[in-house]
Structure 1
Amino acid sequence: MVPMYANAYMVIYEEKQVLQRYKSNILSYYKFIDDLLIIWNKLVEEAQNMVQELNQLQTPVRFTAEISAEKVHYLDLQITVGPSKLQYSLYTKPTDRNTILHYQSAHPRALKNSLPKAQFLRVIRNNSDVQTMETQITEMKTKFLQRGYNCHILETALQEAQKMRAVEIKSKSSEWCSQCYISKHPLK
């Protein structure tokens, strides 16, 4: 029950405190639970001022922010400003360790065999640049090999993930913000 009330509070808070005050400065606004991605059309200093002003309000809400004109991290994405559009790639925190389920664990084989496909699909979906994607696929393969997965399982999983992504693109569901539960706030 508590998360539902917290989400309801934040919807009202964001509408009143963020969107009404700063709508003219916001190009796009994305939200996943309590993580916001705001594409800002003013100076970096003005974005920093917005966060500072919001944190000074007499409310229980406090923001931390990663503000940059070049790149930011949002969920498991690194978003970079390219020459003509935003580029994105899979992001893992510097403290990330290889905690993939070991293949020798007592978990059902079907579960263990599905993990590589899911992770390869995540790498493929979360990259706008083919070269970066290929590098990250190689890194992901290495992680699975270190955890006892064999090459045949990994190659099969990669092929299945690539086929799934091709079907998604063909059906035009390729925009990253339409995946999962990220909602794009309509700026009226």
Structure 2
Amino acid sequence: MDVHSLYTCIPHEAGIQATRELMSDNIAYKGSPIEFVLSLLEFILYKNYFKFKNQFFLQLYETKHILGHPLFRQYGGYYRCYIDDLFFLWYGSKEDLVNLVDDLNQIPSNIRFTVHNDPEQIQFLDVTVYKDKGNNKLQTKIYQKATDRNSLLHYTSSHPKHLLESLPKSQMMRVVRLTSEEQERNLNHMATQFLKRGYPKRLVDNTKQWAMSLDRTATIKGDTHKKVPKNRNDTMMFTTTYDACTPLIKNSMCYSIGQL
């Protein structure tokens, strides 16, 4: 089930009320007075404007034109704006499901629902959920459009080396996490895609063997990595725009600092 245009359909008063409730219920909040924050939020919402063909327009309703505003990410989260895709199993008749959606859309609100149903398989986000005809269990696989092409980052791209070397690992872990059957076949396909994009065969083969040893349950729970907190007190940060010369700059700086 999808919520039609939920990202752009937050009534101002409802959004302000959701923010008020969230801040009031947070006993750990130690920031500015709540009413002061809400007054700033109200000003942004009701005084937001946009430019079109050298003319300025005042936005009168909803959040469509603050999508690029720094406020929107937090504001949308307070209103649960990101929850616009729903997946559930329906044990009633198709007619009852249609009636349910019709009833939901009769509720006085700017939110409208659409539903997609299939007794055999259905796509949800980047996963296809399908019914195994052998045992009647639900299985999952990576959803791929018929028009999909190999758009993986090319190995010769001007990106940090550690990013290029970590990409096969993250994508093959994704295969293990989202694929309940035929994992080896799907990993082989992913490996082929990386080879076509110029990745070293040794890197791809080693990553594939690592992925085949993973426990799928652990990847779903996120237990494959145990991050160790880094002590950055003695770290000097140097921030710059990345280009092909960045590794040379890094090596030169590390060498020079070592000589001091």
What TM-score comes out, normalization by structure 1 length?
0.68
Change beyond 3 A, Cα 1:7–1:56: farther
Change beyond 3 A, Cα 1:40–1:137: same
Contact 1:114–1:157 (CA<8 Å) still a contact in 2?
no
Aligned to 1:2: 72
Describe the SS at the equivalent of 1:40.
coil
Contact 2:184–2:212 (CA<8 Å) still a contact in 1?
no
Change beyond 3 A, Cα 1:96–1:64: farther
Once residues 97 and 65 of structure 1 are traced to their aligned partners in structure 2, the CA distance between those partners, rounded to angstroms, is 28
Q: CA deviation at 1:74?
A: 0.9
What is the total number of aligned residue pairs between the two structures? 151
- Deviation >4 Å, runs of 4+: none
Residues 78-102 of structure 1, C-alpha deviations (whole Å, 9 max, x = no match): 1112333211111122332221110
> Of the two structures, which has the highest relative contact order with CA contacts closer than 8 Å and spacing of 6 or more?
1
Indicate which of 131, 136, 145 corresponds to 1:84: 136
Aligned to 1:125: 177
Once residues 81 and 149 of structure 1 are traced to their aligned partners in structure 2, the CA distance between those partners, rounded to angstroms, is 35
Contact 1:44–1:68 (CA<8 Å) still a contact in 2?
no
Change beyond 3 A, Cα 1:10–1:114: closer
Q: CA deviation at 1:126?
A: 1.1
Residues 122-163 of structure 1, C-alpha deviations (whole Å, 9 max, x = no match): 11111111x3x2332222122212211121111111122233
Once residues 8 and 80 of structure 1 are traced to their aligned partners in structure 2, the CA distance between those partners, rounded to angstroms, is 33
Q: CA deviation at 1:7?
A: 4.2
Once residues 78 and 68 of structure 1 are traced to their aligned partners in structure 2, the CA distance between those partners, rounded to angstroms, is 12
Change beyond 3 A, Cα 1:5–1:122: same
Letter in 2 for 1:93: K
- The alignment-based identity, stated in percent, is 36
Once residues 37 and 76 of structure 1 are traced to their aligned partners in structure 2, the CA distance between those partners, rounded to angstroms, is 13
Aligned to 2:192: 142
Aligned to 2:166: 114
- If you compute each CA radius of gyration, which structure gives the higher value, 1 or 2? 2
Describe the SS at the equivalent of 1:119.
helix
Contact 1:47–1:67 (CA<8 Å) still a contact in 2?
no
Change beyond 3 A, Cα 1:135–1:34: same
Once residues 85 and 189 of structure 2 are traced to their aligned partners in structure 1, the CA distance between those partners, rounded to angstroms, is 27
Once residues 5 and 54 of structure 1 are traced to their aligned partners in structure 2, the CA distance between those partners, rounded to angstroms, is 24
Q: Structure 2 stretches of 5 or more lacking a match?
A: 1-70, 223-260
Q: CA deviation at 1:6?
A: 3.7
Q: By percentage of residues, which structure has more helix?
A: 1
Describe the SS at the equivalent of 1:78.
strand
Contact 1:123–1:137 (CA<8 Å) still a contact in 2?
yes
Aligned to 2:100: 50
Change beyond 3 A, Cα 1:50–1:95: farther
Once residues 187 and 122 of structure 2 are traced to their aligned partners in structure 1, the CA distance between those partners, rounded to angstroms, is 22
Where do residues 90-101 of structure 1 align in structure 2 (5 Å cutoff)? 90-101=142-153
Once residues 136 and 37 of structure 1 are traced to their aligned partners in structure 2, the CA distance between those partners, rounded to angstroms, is 24
Indicate which of 113, 136, 139 corresponds to 1:63: 113
Aligned to 2:157: 105
Q: Structure 1 stretches of 5 or more lacking a match?
A: 12-31, 180-188
Q: By percentage of residues, which structure has more strand?
A: 1
Q: CA deviation at 1:49?
A: 2.7
Contact 1:123–1:136 (CA<8 Å) still a contact in 2?
yes
Once residues 99 and 91 of structure 1 are traced to their aligned partners in structure 2, the CA distance between those partners, rounded to angstroms, is 15
